[in-house]
Amino acid sequence: MAGIFYGIGVGPGDPELLTLKAVSVIREADVIIAPKTEKKEDSVALSIAAPYVKENVQIVKLVFPMVSDSDTLSEAWEYNKNVIVDLLKAGKKVIFLTLGDPMFYSTYIYVFRLLENCGYPIETIPGVPAFCAIGSKLGYPLVEGNDILSIIPATASPDKVDKALSVTDNVVLMKVYKNVNDIVDKLHQHNLSGQAVMISRCGLPEEEVICDLDSLKGRKINYLSTILSRRG
Amino acid sequence: MAGIFYGIGVGPGDPELLTLKAVSVIREADVIIAPKTEKKEDSVALSIAAPYVKENVQIVKLVFPMVSDSDTLSEAWEYNKNVIVDLLKAGKKVIFLTLGDPMFYSTYIYVFRLLENCGYPIETIPGVPAFCAIGSKLGYPLVEGNDILSIIPATASPDKVDKALSVTDNVVLMKVYKNVNDIVDKLHQHNLSGQAVMISRCGLPEEEVICDLDSLKGRKINYLSTILSRRG
């Protein structure tokens, strides 16, 4: 059997929101690469997929340093590449799980680049991004008609966030746990606070929905929190 | 049995990219509301879901006029509302299918608003948006790190498109069939053409991928076409 590598989006949290394709690949997997990073969502991805993982699957834990830390990066990533390529050489079906969609703000993007030219086939299976699940859950249209939707990480530079907020009609603000006070102020400034709503851990235990943005100020915000908003 | 209404995202085209939840609801549906609009994608949604539809399902075709046409709108929509509410009163499990995700540029958003306060439960089931499937298919990361992704319909006003293109890092351009010449020029102007790629009918028959943007000029572009791009 020839080795093959899969990047799989497991969706936003509910195991019923995996695609049929994701489930059938997970059921057949020999090895799951489980990243050990600061990004807490990675272990969440494995727990979401757990109902479909076969009993005797091999779990390989690897440390994928954040790409901003370029010193330790190349060494650790080269090591990871060798580990994965050895598994592929041995004919294994190796999978990498991602919360939401694999091509959308995920560690998988770097894993994909690392393996892209390694001589083994790679298949990426898209998933439902968290913001889509949030829209459906809340009955909150994400974008309609000829409107523009911008997906903005609150960790982008304040100037860039301001510029993007000033031109968009609808917004999905991600990673808001780091600077929620500033983000709430910016939404007020740009006339984007009136219909804003924050949801934490959508579809997971301890889910929380907050419509009064000002009540977020000074609070500790869960890592998996997103704000939806639209102009007006 | 009490009536219930479901809005279901069937994903981008491959019937294997429906979620488990979508499939189990489709299998149990009594009635499918099939919109008859100018938007060709609506019948595409039904063909994607076809493998899961039970044989004796009732298909109700309704005309949902575009929201810009406000004269015929209220009358036709009021009629549709009554048809659907009568089905719910009769205890039917009624579903409405949407290509991609139901809260993302879809007729379902208006159907949802129409029925929101009709006294019957509504559940919306998210789906994989086409742009996620395109990213996975092409091995094209949609957005990473602290970058901003803007989703822009090419049908927005030229000024708005310019402003959004000037501040974003990554872009998904939708509905490009209407004015592809202008869009290609704008991508050049905003230094967003170098890594741009257009895909038509992703995951469907007659899928086509075009990397040379200039070759699109003057061509007739398929309705289901999207351009991905990033700065640089």
Chain B CB contacts of A150 under 8 Å are: 148-151, 164, 168
Q: Are strands B197-200 and B170-174 parallel, antiparallel or unpaired?
A: unpaired
**Same domain (yes/no): B41, B140:** no
* Mean pLDDT of chain B, nearest integer: 92
pLDDT for A72 equals 60
Q: Are the C-beta atoms of B64 and B71 separated by less than 8 Å? A: no
Report residue B44's pLDDT band, with 50, 70 and 90 as the boundaries.
confident
The residue among B95, B125, B155 that closes a domain is B125
**Same domain (yes/no): A85, A163:** no
Report residue B204's pLDDT band, with 50, 70 and 90 as the boundaries.
confident
pLDDT for B86 equals 97
The residue among A103, A125, A147 that closes a domain is A125
**Same domain (yes/no): B92, B185:** no
Query: Structural domain tally of chain B?
Result: 2
**Same domain (yes/no): A163, A78:** no
**What residues 144-163 of chain A have any CB closer than 8 A to a CB of chain B?**
144-153, 155-157, 160, 163
**Same domain (yes/no): A120, A45:** yes
pLDDT for A71 equals 60
Chain A CB contacts of B126 under 8 Å are: 12, 17, 128, 132-133, 135-136
Pick from A17, A104, A153: CB nearest B19: A17
Query: What is the 3-state secondary structure of chain A?
Result: CCCEEEEEECECCCHHHCEHHHHHHHHHCCEEEEECCCCCHHHHHHHHHHHHCCCCCEEEEECCCCCCCHHHHHHHHHHHHHHHHHHHHCCCEEEEEECECCCECCCHHHHHHHHCCCCCCEEEECCCCHHHHHHHHHCCCCECCCCCEEEEECCCCHHHHHHHHHHCCEEEEECCCCCHHHHHHHHHHCCCCCCCEEEECCCCCCCEEECCHHHHCCCCCCCCEEEEEECC
- CATH code where residue A85 lies: 3.40.1010.10
Judged by CB atoms closer than 8 Å, whether chains meet at A153 and B147 is answered as yes
**Same domain (yes/no): B188, B174:** yes
Whether residue B42 is predicted with pLDDT greater than 60 in this model: the reply is: no
**Same domain (yes/no): B106, B134:** no
Task: Give me the domain span that covers residue A20.
Answer: 4-125
**Mind listing the pLDDT tens digit for each residue in B144-178?**
999 999 999 999 999 999 999 999 999 999 999 98
The pair of three-digit structure tokens given for residue B13, joined into one six-digit string: 């085209």
Whether residue B63 is predicted with pLDDT greater than 90 in this model: the reply is: no
Report residue A74's pLDDT band, with 50, 70 and 90 as the boundaries.
confident
Report residue A169's pLDDT band, with 50, 70 and 90 as the boundaries.
very high
Q: ipTM beyond 0.90?
A: yes
- CATH code where residue B165 lies: 3.30.950.10
The residue among B109, B125, B141 that closes a domain is B125
**Same domain (yes/no): B116, B147:** no
Q: Are the C-beta atoms of B45 and B98 separated by less than 8 Å? A: yes
**Same domain (yes/no): B168, B95:** no
Q: Does B135 touch chain A (CB under 8 A)?
A: yes
Q: Are the C-beta atoms of A95 and A26 separated by less than 8 Å? A: yes
**Same domain (yes/no): A93, A162:** no
**What residues 72-91 of chain A have any CB closer than 8 A to a CB of chain B?**
none
Looking at A100-104, B89-93, B199-203, which range is the least confident one? B199-203
Judged by CB atoms closer than 8 Å, whether chains meet at A105 and B140 is answered as no
Mean pLDDT, residues A193-206: 90
**Same domain (yes/no): B25, B49:** yes
Mean pLDDT, residues A42-65: 89
**Same domain (yes/no): A113, A164:** no
Beta-ladder partners of B229: B171
